[in-house]
């Protein structure tokens, strides 16, 4: 099976150079949010431009309706589907975000969020700001990979297992798997500031983008309603710590998340709550320094 948009970076065709690429995302999507946080905290915002799609995915998919005349100012396209079709005529979808585009050709070069996060953290290292975080330290690679895999199954994808379950049995399985892992994480975060020690890594970004959407969307819309985040003391304080870290809270748009999820699900009423001021409250994570 053909693997699309997977050519390596650092070649003549796809060099690592400032201004070469443009990242597209929607504030709704937790997977796209990964790439945007990574771009911010590594100081890649000057090297890789950012395009924001509407947080409501219409019949034509993700559109540039937030831009003047509904047109991306760089690629001169109206919807992300056209960017994909311009890139490879064999590609039949999904026309998803995040997506990284070579602005010199207008073609997609990468679309998988996990790959973008990892490659921004490693392959694009020469463009990082001088005091940037190492999100994938070599001595922690095995540990990071293990956590990433566990969270992908139980948390990142697992929450959708509840929201899109076809029957009670599948919902129950996803529910139990999700909250069993939450208990594991709660215990783990009682011992250290972040997942892999006292430094932020890929794992923290992956966990954050799902969990920061939990109270505003998943608890109600996806019936992920065993506990609220505040009932996990360590996770709650950990998330407040991250939210208050540059690049995390500044890229989290709660209203866009709520509106996007609820309207995409066919709902006609978007909840006013919950309050989100709690994320700016003090936390206790500095005790691990």
Q: Rounded mean pLDDT of 102-113?
A: 96
- Alpha carbon distances (Å) from 84 to 61, 80, 110, 283: 12, 7, 11, 43
Best CA proximity match to 245, nearest among 42, 67, 7: 42
Contact predicate 208/117, CB 8 Å = no
CA distance 96 to 108: 11
As beta bridge partners, residue 110 has: 100
pLDDT band at 283, cuts 50/70/90?
very high
pLDDT in tens, 137-176: 999 999 999 999 999 999 999 999 999 999 999 999 999 9
Q: Above 60 in pLDDT, residue 20?
A: yes
Domains and CATH numbers, the chain: 21-127 (3.40.30.10), 138-288 (1.20.1050.10)
Annotated catalytic residue within 29, 84, 171, 218 = 29
Question: Would you call 91 a catalytic residue per the annotation?
Answer: no
Question: Would you call 29 a catalytic residue per the annotation?
Answer: yes
Annotated catalytic residue within 78, 91, 160, 219 = 160
Sign of the CA dihedral running 58, 36, 97, 78: positive
Q: Can you give the C-alpha Rg of the chain in angstroms?
A: 19
CA distance 104 to 116: 19
Q: Above 80 in pLDDT, residue 206?
A: yes
Per the annotation, binding residues for glutathione are 62, 112-113
Contact predicate 7/13, CB 8 Å = yes
CA distance 121 to 202: 8
What pairing do the DSSP bridges indicate for beta strands 48-52 and 107-110? unpaired
pTM, to two decimals: 0.96
Per the annotation, binding residues are 62, 112-113
CA distance 241 to 284: 8
CA distance 131 to 198: 16
Q: Above 60 in pLDDT, residue 1?
A: no
As beta bridge partners, residue 61 has: 58
pLDDT in tens, 209-265: 999 999 999 999 999 999 999 999 999 999 999 999 999 999 999 999 999 999 999
Contact predicate 224/159, CB 8 Å = yes
Instruction: Give pLDDT, residue 68.
Output: 86
* Alpha helices (H) in 27-108, listed in sequence order: 30-41, 80-87
Contact predicate 82/70, CB 8 Å = no
């Amino acid at each position: 099976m053909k693997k699309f948009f997977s050519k390596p970076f650092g070649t003549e065709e796809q060099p690592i150079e400032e201004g070469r690429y443009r990242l597209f995302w929607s504030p709704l999507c937790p997977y796209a949010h990964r790439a945007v946080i990574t771009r911010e905290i590594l100081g890649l915002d000057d090297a890789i431009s950012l395009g924001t799609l509407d947080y409501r995915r219409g019949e034509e998919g993700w559109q540039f309706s937030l831009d003047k005349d509904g047109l991306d100012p760089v690629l001169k396209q109206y919807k992300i589907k056209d960017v994909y079709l311009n890139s490879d005529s064999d590609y039949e979808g999904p026309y998803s975000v995040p997506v990284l585009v070579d602005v010199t050709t207008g073609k997609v070069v990468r679309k998988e969020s996990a790959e973008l996060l990892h490659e921004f953290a490693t392959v694009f290292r020469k463009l990082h700001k001088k005091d940037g975080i190492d999100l994938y330290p070599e001595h922690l690679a095995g540990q990071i990979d293990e956590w990433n895999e566990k969270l992908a199954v139980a948390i990142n994808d697992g929450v959708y297992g509840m929201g899109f379950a076809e029957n009670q049995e599948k919902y129950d399985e996803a529910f139990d798997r999700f909250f069993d892992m939450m208990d594991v994480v709660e215990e783990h975060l009682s011992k250290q500031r972040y997942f892999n020690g006292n430094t932020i890594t890929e794992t923290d970004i992956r966990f954050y983008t799902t969990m920061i959407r939990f109270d505003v969307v998943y608890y109600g819309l996806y019936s992920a309603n065993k506990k609220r985040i505040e009932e996990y003391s360590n996770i709650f304080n950990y998330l407040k710590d991250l939210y208050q870290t540059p690049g995390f809270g500044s890229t989290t748009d709660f209203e866009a998340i709520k509106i996007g999820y609820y309207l995409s699900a066919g709902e006609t009423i978007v909840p006013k709550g919950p309050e989100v001021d709690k994320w700016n409250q003090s936390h206790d994570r500095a005790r691990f320094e």
